[in-house]
Amino acid sequence: MSVELPNVSGSFGDEPTLEFPTEQAPAGLHAIVLEEGTGPVVQGGREIEVNYHGQIWNGGLFDSSYKRGQTTSFPIGVGMVIKGWDETLVGKTVGSRLVISIPPEKGYGARGVPQAGIGGTDTLVFVVDIVGVK
C-alpha cells in the first residue's frame, strides 16, 4: 500500500509550496526522493548542508531556510537533529530533493515546540534539498 505525501512545487533549489492530499497525515515515517542527486552519498557522522521547508501537515509553515536566504549545516545520523532527519537523509545523495513526513515520535515528541507553533501531536512535513556534505 503506497502512502500519499503532499505534492511539492518547484525543483531543487526553488522554495517549495505544498499541496496536501488528505486532511489526516499517514502514520509512521515516510520519505520520497523527488529528484535524485548525482553527488556523494550522505554518511552518518558527516556534516551536511541543506535547504529546507518545514510545515505542519495540512497546516502552517514553521521554519524555512529558503525564506532566510541561506542554507544550514549540521551533523547527520548522530542524534544532533530530529530522528526523522537522521533516519531519512543518511544514504541519500548530494543534489537530491526529498519530501519527508515525520510523526511526532520521530520529530519533537509529545511536548512539540510551542514557540514555533508545533503541537505534540503534529506530523511535520519537510522538503529538503541536500546541497553538500563535508
Residue 2 confidence (pLDDT) = 77
- Please report where in the chains the cell 502552517 appears, as a residue: 60
Query: If you ran DSSP here, which 8-state letter would residue 122 be given?
Result: P
Residue 1 confidence (pLDDT) = 53
CA dist 79 and 8 (Å) reads 27
- Distance of alpha carbon 10 from its chain centroid, rounded? 15
CA dist 55 and 15 (Å) reads 13
CA dist 31 and 75 (Å) reads 19
Domains defined along the chain, listed by start: 7-133 (3.10.50.40)
Total-model pTM: 0.96
pLDDT in tens, the chain (134 residues): 578 999 999 999 999 999 999 999 999 999 999 999 999 999 999 999 999 999 999 999 999 999 999 999 999 999 999 999 999 999 999 999 999 999 999 999 999 999 999 999 999 999 999 999 99
Encoded amino acid at 16, one letter: P
